[in-house]
Structure 1
Amino acid sequence: MMKTTLLRACLAFGLVLSMPAALAQQGFSFVALGDLPYGSPEKAYVPYRALIDRINQVGPDFSIHVGDIKSGSTLCSDEEFANQLQHFQRFKGAVVFTPGDNEWTDCHRANNGGYDPLERLAALRKGFFKPGQSLGSQPIRVQSQAQRTPAFATYVENLRWQHQGVQFNTVHIVGSNNNLEARDPAASKEFYERDAANIAWIQSAFADAATQNPSLIVFAFQADVFDSKSMYEDFPGWSGFRQSIGETLLPLAQRWGKPVLVIHGDSHKFKLDQPFTLNRQPLPNITRLIVPGASDVRAVKVTVQPGAALAFELISPVP
């Protein structure tokens, strides 16, 4: 039943997302997951570890975790961070991580331990990001914005790598309106500085694509950028995603014209669609994948075929 439902979902988007059976053994695959593990170690760790073990059996070329390595009501402690680093090392292959809001912006909550969000962000950057390489037991080479652009030396978490003619990018865009909080001067300052870095990183992705000519560009981040949508605009003035997504990624993707895949979490429900528009016109070259998460402990295997045809398969902890 699941395979039939998923196949129909893929075919609904035509050739960009469909895959001829004869080509099933070609191309490469990666796994996308996020918003995991959610809950106490006693309840959440066992199924999450089972999912990682299943991913190891599937054997993707690498995995991408789009953030929220803990729920919004658990401690942002050093111990929790250490546990999640151990989980990333449980992956037999490489795993690339981009932060979510639960591991830093929301850590001021009493049930999170009342931490300083900026201190937790600094701890994430120090503990989870190594110059030039991903996480996982067999890390891959990656390039960070910090390495590439001295003006953005803080942003070790914005990563880029190439794989079989596809360009991959992580961008530090998180839920909770991307930490844009007008009532908190420190949060606003952090947002505007990171937003400038994200915009520059997205721009450089398309600049690289102009010379390297990838068949597909992939952007992975945590936030569901439509959370701040109004009746009249996808990205109103108060949206923390207006400049990075609405005024940067979308027009550059439209101009580039070739396939773009946007992967995010935050909403916790698996979805494949093409929701992006620019000037009220649909952008059919941009496909969105929302990974499952929270109580839905599954991941998504993405198979990339020659010519940027994509196929998607949900992975459960038990085969």
Structure 2
Amino acid sequence: MTPRRGLVWALAALTAVALQLPAHAARTSKVAPPPAPAVQPLRIALLADLPQWPAAEASTAALFNLLASRQVDLAVHAGGIKGDTESCGDALLLARKQLLDDAPLPLLYVPGEADWAECHQPINGKFDAPERLNRLRELFFPVDATLGRRTLPLVRQSDQALFRSYRENARLVLGNVMVVGMNLPGDNNHYRTEGGRNSEFEDRREANRQWLARAFSVAEQRDLAGIVIVVHGDPQFGNGWEKRGRPTLLDGFLRHGTRDGYLEFKRQLRELTPRYAGQVLLVHASLGGFSVDKPLRENSGKVIANFTRVALPVGTPAQWTELMVMPGTRSVFQVRLQDGPKPD
């Protein structure tokens, strides 16, 4: 081959490589993926203290059907599946469990004080309260899923060896928010004033502390936009708890009043919430009816802006509270009271 012909071949080969470079670059360079589809808004129904006595069972079932027809993604029952004068016996618990399990949508249930903590009263059958709580766990939380004919998987605290019995403490993630259920009953968190170790309260308080801390940790790791904490009892944010010192066994006697059974829970909320980048919503039952406010404050008295409390109306299927989870919005949560099914 002559030098000139060799030069021509070399130039031709370089030209061929140059012509291939754009296609090769397109195959190997990082192409921006198409935008992810927008997360759809979620609808969650917030309920409490239903049904109260057998007469409300049919209307409660009608409410569940209404929620399913409105394409609600999840119903959350914040506790109180029986009236405060009804028996705590197995027959009634099984009937109410069947009612919740017949709901045509996923239903997360958190126990209230009427369901176990007040069962020692004669009018409720004079049961041992911790025994009734264990029975609730057996009946209502046998698997790691919600109640209802259509279920969603749950993570339960009982997955942890140290808290094997706390099956009622559960959480799930819907869209970009976490829903967390905790056993915090409305009888001052079942704090007992009798002598000796207050074992049920103290053990559950520690379980709740670790469960709440874990929920915030997981939400932060997953960069979730919000946390919904569901309990039954009103933690009494307005009782001056911010100024109190560390509680002791003599606290109730020295202050001539009842020791605040929610004190540690409120302090933990005050510690965890400002460090969390998303919104925190606390949901609980309330004898005062429906309300939305911001009752959590720093030590200085400044309102913690990313914390909101929703108090639920109790004992009436004629109303339900709708929680809209709005992805991509600053507030994340929108709450409003809705009408239930119309009576026949």
Scaled by the length of structure 1, the TM-score of the pair is 0.85
Q: Which residue of 2 aligns with 1:34?
A: 48
Q: Which residue of 1 aligns with 2:144?
A: 132
Q: Which residue of 1 aligns with 2:185?
A: 174
- For 1:224 and 1:46, locate their aligned partners in 2 and report how far apart those are by CA, in whole Å: 28
Q: Which residue of 1 aligns with 2:272?
A: 252
Q: Which amino acid aligns with 2:181?
A: T
Percent identity reads: 26
- For 2:143 and 2:174, locate their aligned partners in 1 and report how far apart those are by CA, in whole Å: 19
Q: How does 1:1-319 map to 2 (within 5 A)?
A: 26-39=40-53, 41=54, 43-147=55-159, 149-183=160-194, 185=196, 188-226=198-236, 229-230=238-239, 232-233=240-241, 236=244, 237=247, 238-244=259-265, 246-267=266-287, 269-279=289-299, 280-295=301-316, 297-307=318-328, 308-318=331-341
SS at match of 1:315: strand
Q: Which amino acid aligns with 1:299?
A: W
Unpaired runs of 5+ in structure 2?
Answer: 1-38, 248-258
- For 1:172 and 1:293, locate their aligned partners in 2 and report how far apart those are by CA, in whole Å: 18
- For 1:300 and 1:131, locate their aligned partners in 2 and report how far apart those are by CA, in whole Å: 27
- Per-residue CA distance 1:19-47 (angstroms, 9 max, x = gap): xxxxxx941111110111113x1x22232
SS at match of 1:72: coil
- Indicate conservation of the 8 Å contact 1:215/1:259, yes or no: yes
Cα 1:268–1:50 shift into 2, 3 Å: farther
- Per-residue CA distance 1:214-272 (angstroms, 9 max, x = gap): 01111111010007x53x3358541111112x221221011114211111114361111
Q: Which amino acid aligns with 1:288?
A: R
- For 2:68 and 2:243, locate their aligned partners in 1 and report how far apart those are by CA, in whole Å: 38
Larger mean CA deviation between 300-309 and 193-202 belongs to 300-309
Larger mean CA deviation between 75-84 and 46-55 belongs to 46-55
Q: Which amino acid aligns with 2:41?
A: G
**Cα shift at 1:184:** 5.8
Task: Flag the structure with larger Rg.
Answer: 2
Aligned alpha-carbon RMSD (Å) = 1.9
Q: Which amino acid aligns with 2:228?
A: V
**Cα shift at 1:126:** 0.4
**Cα shift at 1:100:** 0.3
SS at match of 1:181: coil
Q: Which amino acid aligns with 1:30?
A: I
Scaled by the length of structure 2, the TM-score of the pair is 0.79
Larger mean CA deviation between 192-201 and 57-66 belongs to 57-66
- Per-residue CA distance 1:36-75 (angstroms, 9 max, x = gap): 1113x1x222322222222222121111100011121111
Q: Which amino acid aligns with 1:233?
A: W
- Indicate conservation of the 8 Å contact 1:36/1:297, yes or no: no
- For 1:266 and 1:197, locate their aligned partners in 2 and report how far apart those are by CA, in whole Å: 24
SS at match of 1:83: helix
Unpaired runs of 5+ in structure 1?
Answer: 1-24
- Per-residue CA distance 1:171-201 (angstroms, 9 max, x = gap): 1111110011121647x21000000000000
Cα 1:107–1:185 shift into 2, 3 Å: farther
- Indicate conservation of the 8 Å contact 1:224/1:265, yes or no: yes
- Indicate conservation of the 8 Å contact 1:273/1:289, yes or no: yes
Between 1 and 2, higher relative CO (CA 8 Å, sep ≥ 6) is seen in 1
